[in-house]
Amino acid sequence: MLLTQQQQQQVADAVTRAEQRTDAEIVTVLAPRADDYTYIPLLWASLIALLVPGLVHFFIGGLEIYPLLMVQWASFIFLSLIFRLPAITTRLIPARIRHWRAGNLARRQFLEQNLHHTQGGTGVLIFVSEAERYVEILVDEGISRHLDNGAWDTIVGDFIRRISLGQTAEGFIACIEACAELLAHPVPKTLPRNQLPNRLVML
């Protein structure tokens, strides 16, 4: 688990406190990674294994075809296993692709968590994909008409910094509090409602 039960409860409590200041319906989602990228390790292992016979022949020379094939297959199997380690897989993928996959998952979660069905269009999604160190805040039209996208940049940047330091729970709490501060004036609390669960959604 990325966060302990106690940390998850702390995040839920922060959402409860935030929603006492604003009509915004805040939902938090934490994913360990946006995609399993199963094809990436095989692709890299294949490309490198194709080069191995030529490199061996160039630096060593004199090997027959059968030993070269064995070296090639052994390289492919070894690299396929090593490249499947999450920490390595993530580094094999360009940031643009990782962020694109994480962004797609964030938008699916906005719909799956019913944030587009809130009264007054006040849904707010705080989405984190930890492996990609990706944070995005998505809001419905009832909030976007008051705040442009740039209003969230500082909050997102601070959250990403905390994730890089291994402070995901603290990042969530600080982000929720900052969102409440930002939303309290343009979308103040007017009705005692709670349309969506306050718990942290763990994917």
* Prediction pTM value: 0.79
SS (H, E, C) 71-121: HHHHHHHHHHHHCCCHHHHHHHCCHHHHHHHHHHHHHHHHHHCCHHHCCCC
Residue 123 DSSP one-character state: E
The structural domains of the chain, ordered by start, are 5-35+94-202 (3.10.310.50), 39-92 (no CATH)
**pLDDT tens string 14-24:** 999 999 999 99
For residue 171, CA distances in Å to 18, 45, 162, 201, 203 come to: 15, 36, 6, 15, 18
- Predicted confidence band of residue 157 (pLDDT cuts 50, 70, 90): very high
- Predicted confidence band of residue 57 (pLDDT cuts 50, 70, 90): low
- Predicted confidence band of residue 5 (pLDDT cuts 50, 70, 90): very high
- Predicted confidence band of residue 90 (pLDDT cuts 50, 70, 90): confident
2-11, 49-58, 121-130, 173-182: range with lowest mean pLDDT: 49-58
- Predicted confidence band of residue 84 (pLDDT cuts 50, 70, 90): confident
